[in-house]
Amino acid sequence: MVTLKINGKSVTVPEDYTILQAAKEVNVEIPTLCYLKDINCIASCRICVVELKGRPGLVASCVYPVAEGMEVLTNSPAVRASRKMTIEMLLSNHNKKCLSCSRSTNCELQRLANDYNVDENRFGSEATRYDIDDVSPYLVRDNNKCILCRRCVAACSKVQGIGAIGAIARGYKTHIDGAFEKSADSTTCVGCGQCIVACPVGALREKTNVDYVWEALGNPDKHVIAFTAPSIKATLGECFDMPIGTNVEGEMVAAIRQLGFDKVFNMDVTADLTICEEANEFIGRVQNGGTLPMMTSCCPGWVKFVEHQYPEFIPNLSTCKSPQAMFGAVLKSYYAEKNNIDPKDIFVVSVIPCTAKKFEVTREQVNKTGDFQDVDVSLTTRELGNMIKNAGIKFAELDKEEFDNPFEIASGAGIIFGATGGVMEAALRTAAKKLDPNFEGVEFKEVRGTEGVKEAEYTINGTTVKVAVASGLANARKVLESVKSGEKEYHFIEVMACPGGCINGGGQPCQSDSVKNYVDLKTIRAKALYDADAATDLKRSHESPVMDMLYKEYFGEPGGEKSHHLLHTSYVERQKY
């Protein structure tokens, strides 16, 4: 431990702390632009500079270590002047169309410019102009707004282990792009969106489909349906400044209904449906010598990662469609027939925490069971939040409402799908009961938590099942490599592309540095889902009355002919580099 002073206040911290960390201990927040805890610490932006008494010049607090007797000034005239000039220099090479920017009022650069009362034209404007990359179905890159903080590069390479983007050119012409300046859809990018939530400005955003939804809502000939993913209830409130981890399911349903949707359904229902099919598939593989380990297929970013990087594991992927794709198929088959509606007149909108789902709706083998797309538009949490704001709906003041019948009731297993380990636990709840009708356990806590890799082993009715759970694709790579080398043996593996799972997806609300660097978003958001699971008596997917209805009235049985046709899919090998 060492003792130092920050703005005259004494603090004792571990000797391996940086000044930035030590300042937080005395409630002093030093501004940053490139620093992102556990992801990016390169001291390139120079916004976090501080002054040390007795030492000439300024130092970057995000990398400078503390020392015994050190005296730090975080807001001296020299520090403030330096930060102001740095911001003004950044603005000299920045597209300053803030009013039309997707991150307006939620932009770190904009906030700092206001805080430091900068002159945005002090250094003129000699900005290099770049074409906007909006070719992919899920991502828009606008390098005219990039500040070269390299957070997106770190998220892609360090957190996801993909490295689809990097710095191109040198000096004043440096910019971030794919290899040979290829667009995202021509690289090994999986569409996870972690670069978007890492970006402090508006250089990266999802490719919005909101206008298509408004158009459909205004068309009297369309029957417009929305369904929301399990994690949305735990994160949408952040778009309206509600506390992180607030469960806003009731307000969410009310808001969507006020937007003009004909029906609002609960995607936790098709999370249950996925488990009924997936657990049946897993038991079948175990008992009949099928390909093991079986790997979950709910996450389109993870699936695309396998197709690019590990095509030899494609046979290991569950053939089950994701809950999003299953719901689209159910709505344009069972629901359309039951309500005597032509499927082409149904417009299906999913609300998802994920940008990769926008890619998934373009995959014919996943999202097309007839002459039409099953899901027409996939919206992120952010896009739904913007629609609600645009409609003038006072979200926090809404009375709670319930999902529409017949897709309103889901099990706790469906609810926890949004957290890493949730799919595994949900599958284990059903598989265990199928293997041993006397098995009463419903909590498999060994697979819970936000650790990058978790392992567990269960013996049920004489059958031993070894499982692994990974979140973040760099962790997924470790698991796959351990399986390839023979170091590890598993029967069932769950992978979610985003660290912490869907609750930390690339389509979730963008939080400021002061939150991301010091608040455990993943754990707090996940708690809302586990609390909801604890509050329901219905714990297993296959015991849901909606599942009973669907199989009795339409699908017959899990893995049956109709189920296989509508609820299962196949995958393709993609370019590796």
293 and 427 in a common domain: yes
Q: Cα dist. 531→84, 143, 496, 524 in Å?
A: 45, 41, 21, 11
152: part of which helix (H) or strand (E)?
helix 151-154
Count the residues in the chain. Answer: 577
Does the pLDDT value for residue 239 go beyond 80?
yes
Please, is 466 exposed, middle or buried when counting C-beta atoms within 10 Å of its C-beta (0-12, 13-18, 19+)? Answer: middle
Q: Is residue 572 part of a domain?
A: no
388 and 251 in a common domain: yes
360 and 333 in a common domain: yes
**Which tokens sit at 417?**
């799908």
- The domain that holds 6 is classified in CATH as 3.10.20.740
- Residue 127's pLDDT band (cuts 50, 70, 90): low
Q: Is residue 112 part of a domain?
A: yes
Q: Is residue 91 part of a domain?
A: no
478 and 556 in a common domain: yes
Asked if the peptide bond before residue 311 counts as cis, ω within 30 degrees of 0, the response is no
289 and 403 in a common domain: yes
- Cβ contact 472:453 at 8 Å: no
Q: Cα dist. 538→410, 425, 478, 541 in Å?
A: 8, 14, 35, 8
- Cβ contact 202:103 at 8 Å: yes
Interval 269-281 mean pLDDT? 97
Interval 542-552 mean pLDDT? 97
- Residue 514's pLDDT band (cuts 50, 70, 90): confident
Q: Is residue 492 part of a domain?
A: yes
Note the pLDDT of residue 126: 66
- Cβ contact 296:278 at 8 Å: yes
199 and 221 in a common domain: no
573: part of which helix (H) or strand (E)?
none
User: Residues near 364 by Cβ (< 8 Å), separated by ≥ 6?
Assistant: none
Note the pLDDT of residue 366: 87
At 311-336, the pLDDT tens digits run 999 999 999 999 999 999 999 999 99
- Cβ contact 40:20 at 8 Å: no
3-class DSSP assignment, residue 438: coil
Rounded CA gap, 95 and 287, in Å?
60
- Cβ contact 432:539 at 8 Å: no
Taking the CA of residue 521 as centre, how many other CA atoms within 13 Å lie in the half-sphere pointing to its CB?
Answer: 24
141 forms beta bridges with: 133, 204
Q: By C-alpha distance, which of 144, 93, 152 is closest to 120?
A: 93
115 and 30 in a common domain: no
Note the pLDDT of residue 469: 98
Does the pLDDT value for residue 180 go beyond 90?
no
- Cβ contact 329:343 at 8 Å: no
At 284-313, the pLDDT tens digits run 999 999 999 999 999 999 999 999 999 999
447 and 526 in a common domain: yes
**Which tokens sit at 121?**
């034209």
- The domain that holds 202 is classified in CATH as 3.30.70.20
* Across 31-40, 118-127, 435-444, least confident range: 118-127
pTM of the model: 0.95
At 33-88, the pLDDT tens digits run 999 998 999 999 999 999 999 999 999 999 999 999 999 999 999 999 999 999 99
- Cβ contact 496:502 at 8 Å: yes
Q: Provide the mean pLDDT of the chain.
A: 95
Q: Is residue 505 part of a domain?
A: yes
462 and 315 in a common domain: yes
343 and 273 in a common domain: yes
Q: Is residue 282 part of a domain?
A: yes
Rounded CA gap, 476 and 482, in Å?
10
Q: Is residue 333 part of a domain?
A: yes
- The domain that holds 536 is classified in CATH as 3.40.50.1780
Rounded CA gap, 475 and 463, in Å?
27
Please, is 92 exposed, middle or buried when counting C-beta atoms within 10 Å of its C-beta (0-12, 13-18, 19+)? Answer: middle
Q: By C-alpha distance, which of 175, 167, 199 is closest to 40?
A: 199
Q: Is residue 87 part of a domain?
A: no
The last residue of one of the domains, among 160, 182, 206, is 206
How many domains does one find in the chain? 3
215 and 202 in a common domain: no
The last residue of one of the domains, among 144, 174, 206, is 206
Largest interatomic CA distance in the chain? 80
Interval 555-574 mean pLDDT? 94
Angle at 239 (CA atoms; ends 238, 241), nearest 5 degrees? 60
Rounded CA gap, 470 and 467, in Å?
10
Rounded CA gap, 235 and 249, in Å?
10
* Domain range enclosing 261: 211-567
- In three state form, how does the secondary structure of 207-243 look? CCCHHHHHHHHCCCCCEEEEEECCCHHHHHHHHHCCC
Q: Cα dist. 546→223, 267, 379, 389 in Å?
A: 22, 12, 25, 33
2 forms beta bridges with: 13
- In three state form, how does the secondary structure of 380-436 look? EHHHHHHHHHHCCCCHHHCCCCCCCCCCCCCCHHHHHHHCCCHHHHHHHHHHHHHHC
- Cβ contact 234:194 at 8 Å: no
**Which tokens sit at 193?**
């969106």
3-class DSSP assignment, residue 554: helix
127 and 48 in a common domain: no
At 349-385, the pLDDT tens digits run 999 999 999 999 999 888 888 888 999 999 999 999 9
Strand ranges across the sheet with 71-73: 9-13, 2-6, 71-73, 49-52, 58-60
- Within 101-230, strands assigned E span 139-141, 165-168, 175-178, 204-206, 223-228
